[in-house]
Amino acid sequence: MPAIESTLAALPEGSGSAAKSAAAKLTDHFDSFLTLLTTQLKNQDPLSPMDTETFTQQLVQFTSVEQSIKTNDSLEQLIGLVQGTRQTAMLGYLGTTVQAKSNRIALGSEGSGTISYELPAAAASVSIKIYDGSGTLVAETRGPTAAGRHQVAWDGATSSGGRAPAGTYRVTVAGQTLDGKALGVTQYLYGRVDAIDPAADQPTLSVSGVDVPITDITAIARPNG
């Protein structure tokens, strides 16, 4: 495993959908207000015209709605710029090796998957259970018990003696002390970023075949050369 340097991985989040919805509502209110004000002016009594103070207040409200629409349009443009910047920044993750908080591993049609975890202290026992996409337990094994980080290879062998199909699996790692207390185990995923999905509100990286939210990335290393 190459040396990994810590980095802040969070990127700006947001979506233009909320801004578009707000703009539509403001525009509807703006049009309704304009219609009401125009109707009021047309139907006022010439001998008793609208009070000047009231008319002024309505004009102020009218201007306020108009400014809200313009502000909303500006915010929508700003969100678009932020999203474009985010997508460009995410391209830098392609081909890098990252560390992420994750309880998922990917198993190919050949080879093995790697289970990574860290123990805060030495454990009396460590049990590892592997579940498929439907939540069915497909395999279980034991792991190293010393304090620190560990990696365990799973060759895809199931409890029934066959080989699990290629795909993504959920792993639970549980550590226990000599007096039966549970240890706070932290599970990790190490791998190469082979794809990115910046379109969603929560940008996602594909790390060795496992989808990981960008906010779960805790470290990144660029390949030498």
Residues 46 and 138 occupy one common structural domain: no
Q: Is 146 exposed, middle or buried (0-12, 13-18, 19+ CB in 10 A)?
A: exposed
Q: How far is CA 26 from CA 31, 59, 68, in A?
A: 9, 16, 7
Kindly state the helix (H) or strand (E) to which residue 62 belongs, with its residue range.
helix 52-90
pLDDT given at position 200: 64
Report if residue 7 sits inside a domain. Answer: no
Query: Which tens digits make up the pLDDT trace of 113-168?
Result: 999 999 999 999 999 999 999 999 999 999 999 999 999 999 999 999 999 999 99
Residues 23 and 109 occupy one common structural domain: no
Residues 107 and 199 occupy one common structural domain: yes
Which residues of the chain are modeled with pLDDT < 50? Answer: 1-16
pLDDT given at position 154: 94
Alpha-carbon distance of 108 to 89, in angstroms, equals 29
Report if residue 4 sits inside a domain. Answer: no
Report if residue 3 sits inside a domain. Answer: no
| Domain carrying residue 180 | 97-221
Residues 87 and 147 occupy one common structural domain: no
pLDDT given at position 145: 95
What is the secondary structure of 115-149 as a DSSP string? EEEEESS--SEEEEEEE-TTS-EEEEEE---SSEE
Number of domains in the chain: 2
Residues 153 and 48 occupy one common structural domain: no
pLDDT given at position 91: 76
Residues 52 and 87 occupy one common structural domain: yes
Alpha-carbon distance of 90 to 81, in angstroms, equals 14
Last residue of a domain, one of 93, 114, 133: 93
